[in-house]
Structure 1
């Protein structure tokens, strides 16, 4: 079995994530290809799309949200994701059990003894008037029946697990600060989420696997689980294994992939790319060694924005106190620093809010 070293896996990931070459795809098609974008911080998808799309305009994502082509909802790993409307409806039922389990595990003591089906039915009855509500407003409408649990625990259970919800605009629009207002997906998108098929072989899981490999492969089963948060996918993997090709990584893990998916030459040059916080190009794997060193793994879960240099996480970046600040995680060569600076200048132009040039500074250690 062919062994793919870390650099080969890195270039495959960059190619499929549109980080090796920017794409001319629409916002809708890019979000679909990526299998969604992590979006609990509302402005971050704009940066992720800017790094992946030619001539990306924030208004294009705003239109996709307001025209209901894409939607913000709790899905993979119980985190808020920006996904296409079709994917939100097709995938939600397959994620239901995981969403419930993660919320009830987090708040095990606070939610002990609550009948989840009864609470879900009561929450749906409140939302039956088709009016958007904040989490606090939904909990308030039910507090006479469930006065004991902390409001936060009850609210997260309702909006993140029991009732498939969309987070409505203006939340998630460009340069807009807005609280979360929730509406059932069925109301916002005009149809109920697809029911979970009873077929053997987990057909929804099979589609998730193919979509994941198209955007993240080659990858192991553990990587797929880390991306979506679902543990019950062996049937899906078994059902489509004959359609896939296999490799091994340097650690000996079996990696699966789509036969015709791009696997560029490991020597392919990789441009500097600035990524948003919690980008799935980094988080979408159990073994993240293809894109980030073990010594820097904490950066990937701390909500820091990162810079890819030669395809790897090599710095963090932030805009603070009127400055665009870059903090290298390793020594950058003069050509690397020049390339980082050039891309930073382009990004500052994209982020320009009309208050004049943003100086670029370096927090070297």
Structure 2
């Protein structure tokens, strides 16, 4: 590795922004962008819409809503065991790869307690019964909890329902996730909703290559932080001959796709508003190339919410929020003083986002 070229933090930043289509908005279809990004964080329904607006010229929310209604896109549990909006084919292909990450949720206290005293046969029975209930009709957690408590009296039905989220490939069904529509979160199995089987491979190689295409150059630790998978060093070693290898300024080994864009570090980066929970600010173990060290603590609220962020010259420089009123307004909250030209640029982005929110 000693002979590998060094990539400055700024060069890594421009490479990341280019992959994320945050240097210039793209005209690609929404589903193509969702797949390019290997899914979009969707703990709440709104962030994927904002995330696509940040990256696509002329994005119309109805395009994403139609994809969800037509079952071409779904909200499901993937990287880090968190809810992502992804394409239908990725929901089926990626779940077996990421199942070890998702299954870790069974170790949480209330779920572990719910299974206490149940042998493998009983747990298998729980999963089979839960699958039957969920494929008969999409159900909310509350409805599912009641039905499971009837079947296993004396046990916490809510905890049993949560167990199924970590054992079965579940998806949220509409109207949850549709533009400006509300509804309780109801789930069914991905295989039932999409009328297709899960992928057969749990090999993470293809996932890592796609990660590099959207978030590289990156280290093994970065890929592990993004995916939640562990022990990926052997996977990178197997792929090494197919990858370009660099060093970061602090000496970390970085991997990348040989032909992926790596613009000059002096490439201009326009001001952007990035969605809540956006993976562009979360997809690396070491984030100094997009989140200044001084602002790390401001990136998460006390209750664990990752706010929408302001990017100035490619770096996180503040947060933004929606103020509800007669019409939604976007409130910019920079961490420090900004030049008037930058403030004007951010205000123009905020005004465009307000138009989207009012559409």
Listed one character per residue, the Cα deviations across residues 123-178 of structure 1 (whole Å, up to 9, x for unaligned) are 1232342x1111222222111343445444322221x2111111011111111121
Instruction: Work out the CA distance in 2 between the residues paired with 1:246 and 1:66.
Output: 42
- Which stretch shows the higher mean deviation, 225-234 or 10-19? 225-234
Per the TM alignment, residue 232 of structure 1 is displaced from its structure 2 partner at its CA by 3.9
SS at match of 2:139: coil
Contact 1:244 1:258 in 2 (8 A): yes
Gaps of 5+ in 2: none
Instruction: Work out the CA distance in 1 between the residues paired with 2:190 and 2:226.
Output: 22
Per the TM alignment, residue 306 of structure 1 is displaced from its structure 2 partner at its CA by 0.8
Residues 106 and 252 (structure 1), Cα distance of their counterparts in 2 relative to 1, 3 Å cut = farther
1:277 maps to 276
2:331 maps to 325
1:237 maps to 236
Instruction: Work out the CA distance in 2 between the residues paired with 1:19 and 1:124.
Output: 41
Contact 1:282 1:300 in 2 (8 A): no
2:184 maps to 179
1:112 maps to 116
Listed one character per residue, the Cα deviations across residues 66-121 of structure 1 (whole Å, up to 9, x for unaligned) are 11111110111111100111111111112222211133235444543444433212
2:97 maps to 94
1:41 maps to 44
1:296 maps to 295
Residues 229 and 148 (structure 1), Cα distance of their counterparts in 2 relative to 1, 3 Å cut = farther
Residues 295 and 117 (structure 1), Cα distance of their counterparts in 2 relative to 1, 3 Å cut = farther
Question: Aligned to 1:166, which of 162, 171, 178?
Answer: 171
Instruction: Work out the CA distance in 1 between the residues paired with 2:16 and 2:155.
Output: 43
Question: Aligned to 2:351, which of 340, 345, 352?
Answer: 345
Per the TM alignment, residue 206 of structure 1 is displaced from its structure 2 partner at its CA by 0.6
Question: Aligned to 1:123, which of 109, 125, 130?
Answer: 130
Total equivalences in the alignment: 345
SS at match of 2:55: coil
Gaps of 5+ in 1: 354-365
SS at match of 1:215: helix
Residues 275 and 106 (structure 1), Cα distance of their counterparts in 2 relative to 1, 3 Å cut = farther
SS at match of 1:247: strand
1:363 maps to none
Two-structure CA RMSD over aligned residues (Å) = 1.7
1:315 maps to 318
- Which stretch shows the higher mean deviation, 53-62 or 337-346? 337-346
Residues 333 and 309 (structure 1), Cα distance of their counterparts in 2 relative to 1, 3 Å cut = same
Residues 113 and 77 (structure 1), Cα distance of their counterparts in 2 relative to 1, 3 Å cut = farther
